[in-house]
Amino acid sequence: MPVMPAEAILSCEMGFDQLQQAGSMIGSGGVIVMDNTTCMVEVLERIALFYFRESCGQCTPCREGTGWLYRLIYRIRTGVGSASDLDKLVNVADKIEGRTICALGDAAAWPVQSFLKHFRGEFEAKISSQVAA
């Protein structure tokens, strides 16, 4: 599910339409709350790893794309990413979204897209500092 920054979600009622309007989704109804000490790069890496492992491998975009996403984020998290990796990351996620048989591919793409939309600064900082988290 797409991640939402606090200012966008605090005033939002928890409901199907409301969350969609705010730019996320209710999904299964589960919510993860993260405070400002959380490293968003690490969280995205964890999420990407989950989808990489869970992909069944049946259809092309998810089988090939989830591994690619994970490896890009892993590189950034371990301090060896490059600035161009960020656009590439969004680009790969866009290529997966809407092309797969089931929703797992979409679910793998949305966090990447939303993390980079709302927390791109953290990713850029990680790349420019070149220090592993």
Partner 1 sequence: MLKVEINGQQFEAEPGSTIIEVADSAGIYIPRFCYHEKLSVAANCRMCLVEVEKAPKPLPACATPVTDGMVVQTLSDIAKQAQEDIMEFLLINHPLDCPICDQGGECPLQDQAMGFGGSSSVFEEVKRSVDNLDLGPLITTEMTRCIHCTRCVRFGEEVAGVMELGAIRRGEDMKISTFLGTSMDSEVSGNVIDLCPVGALTSKPYRFTARTWELNGHKGISPHDCLGSNLEIQEIRGVVKRVLPRDNEAVNECWLSDRDRYSYESVNCNDRLTMPLVRRGENYQEIEWTEALDLVSSGLGQIKETWSGEQIGAIVSPTASLEEFFLLQKILRALGSSNVDHRLRQQDFRDDLAAPVCPGTETSISKFQELDGVLIVGSNIRKELPLISLRLRRLAQQGGEIAVLNPMSFNHNFTTAQEVIVKPSMMAIVFASIARKVATATGKADLLPERLVEFATRHEFGTDVDAIADCLTGDDSDVLILLGQIAMNHPDASMLRQIASWMGENCGIRIALLPDANGVAGWVAGCVPHRLPGGRSNASPGLNSKKMIDERLKAYVLYGVEVSNDYADPVALDTALNEAEFVVSFSTFRSAVPMQADVVFPLAAFTEIDAGYINCEGVTQFASAAVKPMGQSRPGWKILRVLGNFLKLDGFDHVTSKDIITELEEVYDLSEPISVRYKPDLQAINHVVAQSDELKNGKQLDRIIDVPVYSVDPTVRRATALQSTKDADTVALLACAEELEEMGFKPGSRLAVHSKAGKVMLRVQPDDRVPRGAVYVPTGLSETSVLGSFPVVVVQVME
Residues of the shown chain interacting with partner 1 in the complex, contacts defined by CB under 8 A: 52-61, 63-68, 71-72, 88, 91, 95, 98-101
What letter would DSSP give residue 15? S
Q: Give least dist CB 84 to partner 1, A.
A: 8
- Is 65 or 111 the residue whose CB approaches partner 1 more closely? 65
- Is 24 or 66 the residue whose CB approaches partner 1 more closely? 66
- Is 64 or 118 the residue whose CB approaches partner 1 more closely? 64
- Is 61 or 111 the residue whose CB approaches partner 1 more closely? 61
Q: Give least dist CB 94 to partner 1, A.
A: 8
Q: Give least dist CB 35 to partner 1, A.
A: 32
Nearest Cα neighbor of 112 from 63, 59, 52, 56 is: 52
Distant-in-sequence, close-in-space partners of 129: CB < 8 Å, separation ≥ 6: 79
Nearest Cα neighbor of 55 from 103, 113, 89, 111 is: 103
Helix (H) or strand (E) holding 105: helix 104-118
- How far is it, in rounded angstroms, from Cα 92 to Cα 107? 13
Contact 115/21 with Cβ under 8 angstroms? no
Q: Give least dist CB 117 to partner 1, A.
A: 20
